[in-house]
Structure 1
Amino acid sequence: MSEFQKTIDDIQRLTDRIIELVQPMSEEELRWKPADDAWSVMEILCHVEEIIPYWLQEIQTIVQSPGSEWGRNHLHEGRLAAVAKANQRTATDIQEGIIGTKLVVESILGNLTTEDLAVEAPSRNPRWGTKPMSFVVNHLVVEHLQSHLGQIQRNMEQYTSANHIR
């Protein structure tokens, strides 16, 4: 298996694992916040649904227009809007949306080459500087999904502890 296919498989596996974890959760557990400044699982899911197509579209744009800037910061309107709409979404709706992102992964990453992922471009976020598109895939998609999977698991543990569930 190529490194490229492994990356696609990693994204699909992480997406599947997130859905697997949240499917049996109650509405209360999905919407429970471990702290005022922390996201609920539902908010995390809305963010996950938004990040995959966002970052893949950024890669596609750079490949088509090398040298363009890519990226965003934590105050990006689309990011904030996705999370803000969490209370208006249903668990089924958001899970179907996340499952749908798997098609986006296949259609965009499946059509890129190793050379495409080597294209470098400057980030709008000064934290990142100039990076190849492989960085965006590995760090801002794969590692980002791993991070949110861990965040969901922590929320679940904290919910269980706060509600004395065994």
Structure 2
Amino acid sequence: ASNWDPLVLATALPMDYRLRVMGKEELFQNPILAWVIRVGGAFPVNRGGADIQAVKTAIQTIQSGQNLLIFPEGTTVRNGIGKADGLPAHAHSGAAVIGVRTGAILVPVFVDGEKRTFHRTRIIIGQPYTPVYTGRRGTAEEMQKIADDLLREVYALGGQQVGGAPLCK
């Protein structure tokens, strides 16, 4: 829902929780902010195309035993509607691909609404989700289905909808 979501989530986790965040490269354009968020464990991703370096960093992060936070929509989304284009939220398959290639267990996390200083923000951590796919790496369609299912789980945690349809199992 906002650029503050990673920080809100990170501060709610235990101090020894090893978390890295894949963040949009626009956040890294300001040198001071870039330094702060890199120190905090974030790394940039170019959302405009296949960012091989970001994928490699994500895979190395998981393989080294750290946890990785990825926003599957790839953009700020409010109430299931993409901020930039007004279209229904759409999951990109990158999170699924990274999860499958590393054998990671995916955990949906919902961070609620508008962030206000000194006000509580509802964070709901869902049940671990083990992706189902065929072969060693699955098909592109399976990766998209995994990403869509994961996003559906995230929004269902908060009782929210994507594209006007209720998200329930």
The TM-score with structure 1 as length reference comes to 0.25
Q: Which has the higher contact order (CA 8 A, sep 6+)?
A: 1
The TM-score with structure 2 as length reference comes to 0.24
Q: Which protein has the bigger helix share?
A: 1
Between Structure 1 and Structure 2, whose CA radius of gyration is higher?
A: 1
Q: Which protein has the bigger strand share?
A: 2
